[in-house]
């Protein structure tokens, strides 16, 4: 199980897409490629932008399909963060359908 | 180029100011101003700064400001940013209220630092800070990723006590929306390009639904939605295209629209050509909807817009 603490990388307002891309390329994707499950821990993250979440997870959904969601746990998300993640997951699946 | 700072230019009445902009002779800038009183939206100040940075101090001819409110432009950092002299004096503790002076952002890290530092300047509550931070982040990142200008994004903001609102203006003198959106979509005019850029899921980086790994084409739709739900003004001006989301009265039922032309708006496709993009937003704080409720409406509108486009693209059986 790979655990990624988003706050440690992106702070309380996670908006830097470059940070999201680096997390995806250096941490998330390699772990999933090794068949590890991933915990994305959003503890202490107060807000995110849609762009940040898109840069973090959209390519995983595109490359690995929606089944990848079974292997990612979005932990300790507040209501706003949950909704933005849901928007991104929805439009990635709607568009691919 | 010539730009005149009028007596009044806020988002509600910004159109005549824009019509007065003269984009000819792009290597020099003449700045003139009303000599009695100047009260303008932050987007106007950002526009002057973006043009001034583009031509450089040697190319700027700035008329002496005579208006009694001229000190405001010193406080906002206009002359300092442009590197031009002024003899307007400001007293040390002159009240300027809650504002963000002109700020130039050229990199992603500068933006992240700026967002962290700007919230205390505006004395915002947590929920309001979330909304304002969101708007600034998405708009500035658009400039950094698409405008291709060495001068980056120029922004400033002002809190207005009387209306309890924050007004934000972000300008760049880069490629403009049409040049970037037409890399992947067809847009005959600047106004067509603005319309596309405001639709959810349309990005200049790809025609593919869902965007690229770094771009979804959702940023401007989110910002317009925030303004729409809060019944506030939102203006976008690029090339000869101008779009203004108009304020809605409190009684009207709110519905987010995927097509910005379905919203209550005004537009003009024949404005003087702005060499880049300008965005102005007003956020009235005491009517700011809870951000999380806004996201429910965005999710619904976004999903149906994507489904509708997919339906339009899907092949149909041929019946003979």
pLDDT digits (tens, 9 = 90+) for B89-143: 776 555 456 899 999 999 999 999 999 888 778 888 877 888 899 999 999 999 9
User: Are the beta carbons of B214 and A17 separated by less than 8 Å?
Assistant: yes
Task: Give A-chain residues touching B115 at CB under 8 angstroms.
Answer: 13, 15
pLDDT digits (tens, 9 = 90+) for B197-213: 999 988 888 888 778 88
Q: Which of A95, A96, A97 to mutate to test the interface with B (most CBs of B within 10 A)?
A: A95
User: Are the beta carbons of B222 and A50 separated by less than 8 Å?
Assistant: yes
Whether A84 contacts chain B with CB within 8 A: yes
- The backbone torsions φ and ψ at residue B114, rounded to the nearest 5 degrees and listed phi first, read -60, -45
Structure tokens, A75: 């932990």
Interface of B with A (CB under 8 A): 108-109, 111-112, 115-116, 126, 130, 133-134, 137-138, 141, 200-201, 208-211, 213-216, 218-219, 222, 291-292, 295-296, 298-299, 302-303, 306-307, 310
pLDDT at residue B8, rounded to an integer: 97
User: Are the beta carbons of B112 and A62 separated by less than 8 Å?
Assistant: no
Q: Which fold has domain B2-313?
A: Heat Shock Protein 90 (3.30.565)
Q: Are B226 and B283 in contact (CB under 8 A)?
A: yes
Q: For residue B26, what are the contacts with CB-CB under 8 A and spacing of at least 6?
A: B1, B54, B55, B275
pLDDT at residue B213, rounded to an integer: 84
Average pLDDT, consecutive stretches of 10 residues, N- to C-terminus, chain B (320 residues): 97 97 97 96 98 96 93 93 88 65 95 88 81 93 95 95 91 97 94 96 84 87 90 95 89 80 96 98 77 83 83 71
Q: Whole-angstrom Cα distance, residue B271 to residue B277?
A: 13
- Rounded to two decimals, the pTM is 0.93
Ordered by start, the domain boundaries in chain B are 2-313
Q: How high is the ipTM of this complex?
A: 0.91
């Amino acid at each position: 199980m790979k655990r990624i603490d988003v706050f440690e990388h992106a702070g309380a307002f996670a908006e830097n897409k470059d940070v999201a891309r680096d997390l995806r390329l250096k941490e998330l994707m390699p772990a999933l490629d090794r068949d590890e499950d991933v915990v994305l821990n959003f503890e202490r993250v107060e807000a995110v932008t849609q762009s940040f979440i898109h840069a973090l997870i959209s390519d995983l959904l595109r490359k690995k399909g929606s089944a990848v969601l079974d292997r990612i746990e979005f932990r300790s998300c507040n209501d706003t963060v949950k909704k933005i993640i849901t928007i991104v997951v929805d439009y990635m699946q709607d568009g691919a359908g | 180029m010539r730009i005149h700072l009028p007596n009044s230019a806020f988002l509600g009445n910004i159109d005549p100011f824009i019509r007065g902009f003269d984009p000819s002779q792009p290597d020099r800038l003449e700045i003139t101003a009303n000599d009695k009183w100047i009260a303008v939206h932050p987007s106007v100040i950002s526009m002057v700064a973006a043009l001034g940075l583009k031509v450089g101090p040697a190319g700027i001819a700035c008329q002496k400001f005579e208006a009694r409110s001229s000190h405001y432009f010193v406080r906002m950092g206009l002359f300092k940013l442009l590197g031009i002299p002024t003899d307007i004096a400001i007293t040390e503790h002159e009240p300027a209220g809650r504002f963000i002076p002109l700020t130039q952002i050229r990199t992603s890290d500068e933006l992240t630092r700026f967002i962290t530092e700007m919230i205390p300047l505006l004395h915002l509550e947590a929920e309001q800070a979330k909304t304002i931070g969101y708007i600034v982040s998405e708009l500035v990142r658009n400039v950094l990723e698409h405008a291709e200008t060495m001068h980056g994004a120029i922004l400033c903001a002002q809190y207005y006590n009387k209306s309890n609102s924050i007004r934000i203006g972000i300008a760049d003198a880069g490629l403009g929306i049409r040049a970037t959106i037409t890399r992947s979509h067809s847009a005959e005019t600047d106004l067509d390009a603005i319309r596309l850029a405001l639709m959810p899921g349309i990005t200049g980086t790809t025609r593919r639904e869902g965007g690229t790994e770094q771009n979804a084409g959702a940023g401007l739709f989110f910002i317009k939605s925030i303004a729409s739900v809060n019944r506030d003004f939102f203006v976008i001006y690029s090339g000869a295209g101008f779009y203004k989301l108009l304020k809605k009265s409190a009684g009207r039922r709110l519905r987010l629209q995927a097509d910005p032309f379905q919203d209550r708006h005004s537009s003009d496709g024949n404005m003087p050509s702005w060499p880049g993009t300008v965005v102005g937003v007003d956020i009235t704080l005491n009517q700011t909807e809870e951000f999380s409720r806004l996201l429910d409406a965005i999710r619904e509108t976004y999903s149906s817009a994507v489904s509708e486009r997919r339906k339009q693209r899907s092949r149909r059986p041929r019946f003979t």
